[in-house]
Every structure is written in C-alpha cells, then in structure tokens.
Structure 1
Amino acid sequence: MPTLADVIAVLEARYDPGLAEPWDSIGLVCGDPDVAVRRVLFAVDPVASTIEEAIEARADLLVTHHPLFLSGVHGVPASDPKGRLVHRLISAGCGLFVAHTNADRARPGVSDALAAAVGLVETDPLEPADTTPLDKIIAFVPTEAAQLVVDALSEAGAGAIGDYSRAAFLNAGIGTFIPGPGANPVIGAVGCVEEVAENRIEMVLPRSRRAAVVEALCAAHPFEEPAYNIVGLASLPSTRQGIGRIGALEQPQSLREFAAHVADGLPATACGVRIAGDPDKEIRTVAVCGGSGGSLIETARSAGADAFLTSDLRHHVVSESRENSGLALLDATHWATEWPWLPAAARLLRRDLSDAMIEVIVSARRTDPWNAALQATSTQEAPDGGGQLW
C-alpha cells in the first residue's frame, strides 16, 4: 500500500513544482506523509462540497487544481472559513495536495486535457516555458565501477531526458595522478605516478538536484577524491511544456459548428460558452488555455490561431480583439475549462500506481460559482441583432 509520500512523489514527477509560478501555493497543504493511501479524489476546487465529498468517499487524499491558500497565513483557526476546512480534513484523516500552475505548464497538463476535449490534434505549447535549468555532471570513474556510479547518479535525479531515464554517455580513457603525502589511495602509492583505466561519464540533471547528485557521486565512487566537474547548461524554450496549447482540428469547421462541439465537450454550466466572432468563419487552427487566458489573446493571434478558447475574458479585451483582428474568441467558465484535467490526471495516477491497491476517483460536484443565468426577456432587439442565440 503506497504512503501519502509515495503518491506525492508520483504527482510531483508529473507536475514538477519547479514549473509553478513564484506566487503560487502548491504541494501538500495537510496530511501525514507516512499514512497509507487507499483512495484519492481529484477536484478543481478545495471547497466545502468537495471536501465533504472526499470524506464521504473515505478518500485518504484530495488533489485539487486550485490552491486553498494563495497568500501566507499565520494560523488556521476553525473559526476561519478556510481554517475550518483544514480542521475538517485533518479530523477525517484526509490529506490535501494542490497542483496549480505547475499542472497548467506540465505536459500532459490542464490545457492538454482541454485540447483533447474539443478535438485538437498535434498540439504544441501556446506560450512555451523555459526549460527547467539544467546542469551536466562530468565524472571520471574506474571502468569496473562505472555502471554502479551511473545507477547512483540516476537515483539521485540525473540522467532524465524527456521520457527516458538513466541516460548517460560513457567514454573510455586513461586517468593519471600522483597521490600526495596525506592521501589514502584506493589504487596506487603515495608519491608514485598511477594510471587507471577509467570511463568519462556525462549526465544531465536539474540544477535543483546538483547537491544531491554530487553527494551520490562521492558516496558511490571508489576513490576518496572523485574527479568531476559540473557545467551549467543554457535554458531554451520548451517544446513540450508551457501555458496553453495550439493545434489543429481534424476537419475544418465553421465557428458555429466548433462552438457547438466545445459546448458538447465541456461539462454543462449555467453560463455555457460565449462566442465572439463571425459564426460562419472557417476554423482550422485553435488555441486553448484552461482557466484565465485573456493575456494570451495576442499570442494566439500571432501564432496563427483562427479561434481561441479560454475563460474569464473581459469586455474591453474582447472588444479590442474584435476590432483589430479576425480571431474568434470562445469564453467558457473557468471551472469548465479546467475540469477535463481531472479524469485525465486520474487516469495517469492509476497508471503510475498500477502495481498498488489504490482507487482514484473524480469529483462529481460542480463547483462553478455561477449557478444560474437568465436571458433578457425584452422583445426589443439590438440594432444589429446582437445577443442572438445560435
């Protein structure tokens, strides 16, 4: 049975904390890392209804996209609304873990799930993130110990390249040295020239793992003074990770048809999907961003999108976009654009923990704060027929 710490390690491997915005509050909010986890519930929001749902389901862990706390707190008294939620979770023995902007940038992440829900293929990041800062470690190891050292460096976090692990380059050569008066050499004698058949080992590593990898090298290397150096690598825009996604529809559609497809592909909400654009416009290339993506409108237009699906769009931003570009805009609710991530993330966690006896479920509670919408009953039409329902 996996512990909470085991499950968190799997989640953070999928949703690297290093991808989160500096202002974000992610990770474990409450819970004992040593407790066994039998059931996990995924939800968008850590609110009273989903917390009660998790407790009723006897979940040991609630994973939410949105943080419970976005700013620092000095206490969580039960008299405070959010403090009351923390006390409820702790009393029930249910942990809370948050994957927010790190899940937005990860691949597969929030916008990948949204893109799949509306039928996009061959997607790329709309706004690529800088790659995780990387180092390269170059170590010189006696040939017979090389594979053991590669194993140790890999376990410490080196050698991960995309979907591959324990990636290393080894090159054979001869190392030479003279042990000094204070040395206690494993091979050779003090004051004498020694030559050893060695491998030069090169592996990349996240810069955040530098200390751990060096420690692992020193522990695994047979020499008392391992020869190594570390080189910082240049950061490049990621081809995998970033905010939003842009891709193509399998077949072109009119904006009217695509909007209907979006409405069918997202969970129902009181507000539905708002559309700004010519209903007959042909849509081939689509950009999406789960959650608030108004700041990416120009990015979507510059990337060649015919339409951009996101949420929380403001009047003036939409008005200026319609005046200055042909980009069609689709505005669903914040909750609806992020909900598709829940079943996608749940499937990945089941797969990652397939050898463990763990149940992963998705919240059935709609936590979109907008719970009703009314259409105007006036019979007076706007001069251009605006406000029509398609």
Structure 2
Amino acid sequence: MFAKGQTVIQYMEQLAPKHVAMEGDKIGLQLGSLQKEITGVLVALDVNEDVVEEAISLGANLIVAHHAIIYRPLSNLQSDTPMGKVYEKLIKNDIAVYISHTNLDVTEGGMNDWMAEVLGIQNVIPLEDIHTDNLYKLVVFVPKDHHQRVLDAILNAGAGWIGNYSHCSFNIEGYGTFLPQEGTQPFIGKEGKLEKVEEIRIETIVPQSSRNKVIQAMLKSHPYEEVAYDLYGMDLKGRTLGLGRVGKLQEPVSLDAFVQRVKEKFDVPAVRVVGDLNRQIKKAAVVGGSGGRYWKHALFRGADVLVTGDVDYHTAQDALMAGITIIDPGHNAEKMMKPRVAAWLTDKLQGDKYETKVHASSIDTEPFAFL
C-alpha cells in the first residue's frame, strides 16, 4: 500500500512544522496535488530540469525540496522559458513539489543542528530567536480505573515537558458528578440519574506546537462520551526556536584547521575565508544558506567564527574590522539535508508499512564551478 500525499507531508511536518517558518517564507505545496497515492518521494535541495528527470526515472511523483520553485509572483507561465519548461514537465508527469525551507532550518534536529553537529559545535543555542512555544495548562477529569491510560496518552503525545524533564503531571483524587440527559449513552451511569464517580484530576503542561496532538490523544483514550477538560493559556513561555546555531568546540583549533573541517564535513571543494588562519577558534556559529547578515549576532554571542554562505564583500569587510572571522562554504552546503530528510521519511513510512520509496537526489545543483 502506498502512502497518500497528505500522509507523507504529515511526516515531513513532524520534522519541520510549518508554524515555525519565518514570516513570508514560501513553504508548503507549491505545485501539483497531494490528493493521490505517492509511489515515490525525491528529496532535493533545488528543483531544476535534471532533478525532475531524476524523479521521473525513479518513479517519484512527489519532490520534497528545500528551496522554493516559486519564490516571486508569476506574471505568466510560458513553457518556452527555462523555468516554464520545468513547471510543464512537472505538471505533465503529475509530480507535486512541496517546500520545507526556514521551518527546516529553525526546527530542532533540522538543518542548522545538522550543520553544527558535523562541525563538532556543542551545547548550541539559536543565533536569533524566531519562535517561542506558548504554554497551556491542561486539566482533565478521568474515572479512576482509566487514569493511567489517559495520562500515558497525553504525555506520550508531547505534554508534560518542563525544561529537560518529561512526563511532568499532578494528579488529585476526588469525585465528579453528572446527570446524563435524554438521548445520551453514558460510559458510567444511566440516563436521567445523577451520578457520583471517583475521578482523578490530571494537570499537565502542553506546548502550543503539540496542543492539537495532545487533545486528540486525550479524547481518543478517554472513556467518556463527553470529556470534561480545561485548557488555560499561561504567561510562561516554552522552548525557543531560532535561526542559526552557536556553541563551543570540544577543543580549540586554529581557523586553518577548522576550515579543513568545514570543507570535509560539508563536502565542498573550496571555501572563502575572512580572518587570520592562525587564530584560535573556541566558539563557532553556523547559519544555513545566505547568513552573512548574522555576523553581528554571532559576534554578540561570543563566536570566533561564523560559517555561512553567500557573504558579500562589504559584509566581509565589516566583520573583519569588528574582529570576527567568516568561513563561506557556499549556499549549496545545505545539500546535507537530502540524505537526512530522506532517512526521516523512510523511517516513518516503513514504520507504518507503506511501500512508498524515498530517494535522496543525486543531482548536484551547485551553479558554480571551482577552478
């Protein structure tokens, strides 16, 4: 059995939720339809004609890409233009294109964490805060003999996190009363008779990002026809997600040695470097894509070096005078997302016994040649 398009995207959005994307970012379904069975998924950094041909050859009818194929409003859709040919080929072959961009950058366990991890940057925090999870207090009343079942369901769905402590809850025994009205089918009691039942009041914390999942898990596991629960907004804030990462290296290294590490781990033939190659690097920052404008954030966070792509001349001059070094491996360094996203989707699909195959694109979309 093949997975439906919406099922594949639900898995993708578990990794990179849409609500954590930066405002105005072009993410989500950009072309085609998800109302179909997905025979194969191709994970790509960019979508060009070669990538589309690869999808066709692999029998993939969904491309999950990092960079948008429609970034600016289209004034026309001519099939005799380079990009128009790509759109035409996608449509004729019924291939949908879904984009996961800054939401994949920002999310925990996403692009920026992958970049930091391979470079040995530890105990990372965001360079710039983008999204803070609002917290809610969930209170639900459960008959005593169903207490553990409901508690496990809501905690396993993402409730109960306080800092690095999971499964946090408070449980109080008491009595609940209710009178089933005409036409009801009560789990306990009889229509028209006032009931008094031993219940347990469960209190726990629910982050906004998990709220719908937790509520659905609670309702599904609860035995009552009408579940009594409350959800309160709180002034407390949960985890903060952001763009870029900064942290310390396990051991200080020279900028020259760190440059070689970047080239190896990012699989790039060359980098541009700003700064003294003999400088000792103790703390490093990374930003996927074009992150030159974040050099001040990196400096403020105490970083000795910023690793990011597409740094312009004047930004490099300003950073050099301010005392922070830069390594520019190019925008295409983000290609590391292909095998990682493919592995994530494969694990999810196989876990639910779907036959849909996932492929990491083998097409090199680097537009520059290094001579």
With structure 2 as the length reference, what TM-score do the two structures score?
A: 0.82
- The answer to whether residue 323 in structure 2 is matched with residue 341 in structure 1 is no
Q: Deviations over 1:301-344 (max 9, x none)?
A: 121211111012222222122212x21111221112x1122222
CA distance in 1 between counterparts of 2:181 and 2:253 reads 79
Aligned-residue Cα RMSD (Å) equals 3.6
Following TM superposition, by how much is the alpha carbon of 1:65 offset from its aligned partner in structure 2, in angstroms? 0.4
Q: Is the 8 A contact 2:159 2:210 kept in 1?
A: no
CA distance in 2 between counterparts of 1:140 and 1:235 reads 23
Following TM superposition, by how much is the alpha carbon of 1:118 offset from its aligned partner in structure 2, in angstroms? 3.1
Task: Mark the structure with the bigger radius of gyration.
Answer: 1
CA distance in 1 between counterparts of 2:8 and 2:100 reads 13
Q: More deviation in 111-120 or 17-26?
A: 111-120
1:376 matched residue in structure 2: none
CA distance in 2 between counterparts of 1:343 and 1:163 reads 30
CA distance in 2 between counterparts of 1:227 and 1:6 reads 30
Q: More deviation in 247-256 or 353-362?
A: 353-362
1:255 matched residue in structure 2: 255
For the structure 1 residues 69 and 99, does the alpha-carbon distance in structure 2 shift closer, same or farther, using more than 3 Å as the test?
same
Q: Is the 8 A contact 2:207 2:238 kept in 1?
A: no
Q: Is the 8 A contact 2:309 2:330 kept in 1?
A: yes
For the structure 1 residues 321 and 359, does the alpha-carbon distance in structure 2 shift closer, same or farther, using more than 3 Å as the test?
same
> Any unmatched runs of 5+ in structure 1?
374-390
CA distance in 2 between counterparts of 1:173 and 1:237 reads 28
Aligned-residue sequence identity (percent) comes to 30
CA distance in 1 between counterparts of 2:213 and 2:342 reads 31
How do residues 308-319 of structure 1 correspond to structure 2 at under 5 angstroms?
308-319=306-317
**Equivalent pairs, count:** 365
CA distance in 2 between counterparts of 1:121 and 1:212 reads 31
CA distance in 1 between counterparts of 2:218 and 2:249 reads 49
> Any unmatched runs of 5+ in structure 2?
none
Letter in 2 for 1:47: N
Letter in 2 for 1:242: G
Q: More deviation in 352-361 or 311-320?
A: 352-361
CA distance in 1 between counterparts of 2:349 and 2:181 reads 53
With structure 1 as the length reference, what TM-score do the two structures score?
A: 0.79
2:196 matched residue in structure 1: 195
1:295 matched residue in structure 2: 293
How do residues 1-390 of structure 1 correspond to structure 2 at under 5 angstroms?
1-3=1-3, 4-72=5-73, 78=79, 81-146=82-147, 149=150, 159=159, 161=161, 167=167, 169=169, 171-177=171-177, 179=179, 186=186, 187=189, 194-207=195-208, 226-234=227-235, 236=237, 238=239, 241-268=241-268, 272-324=270-322, 326-336=323-333, 338-355=334-351, 356=353, 357-371=355-369
Partner SS for 2:318 = helix
For the structure 1 residues 121 and 222, does the alpha-carbon distance in structure 2 shift closer, same or farther, using more than 3 Å as the test?
closer
Partner SS for 1:323 = helix
Following TM superposition, by how much is the alpha carbon of 1:216 offset from its aligned partner in structure 2, in angstroms? 7.3
For the structure 1 residues 293 and 237, does the alpha-carbon distance in structure 2 shift closer, same or farther, using more than 3 Å as the test?
farther
CA distance in 2 between counterparts of 1:249 and 1:358 reads 40
CA distance in 1 between counterparts of 2:181 and 2:63 reads 60
Q: Is the 8 A contact 1:183 1:190 kept in 2?
A: no
Following TM superposition, by how much is the alpha carbon of 1:9 offset from its aligned partner in structure 2, in angstroms? 1.4
For the structure 1 residues 38 and 27, does the alpha-carbon distance in structure 2 shift closer, same or farther, using more than 3 Å as the test?
same
Following TM superposition, by how much is the alpha carbon of 1:87 offset from its aligned partner in structure 2, in angstroms? 3.2
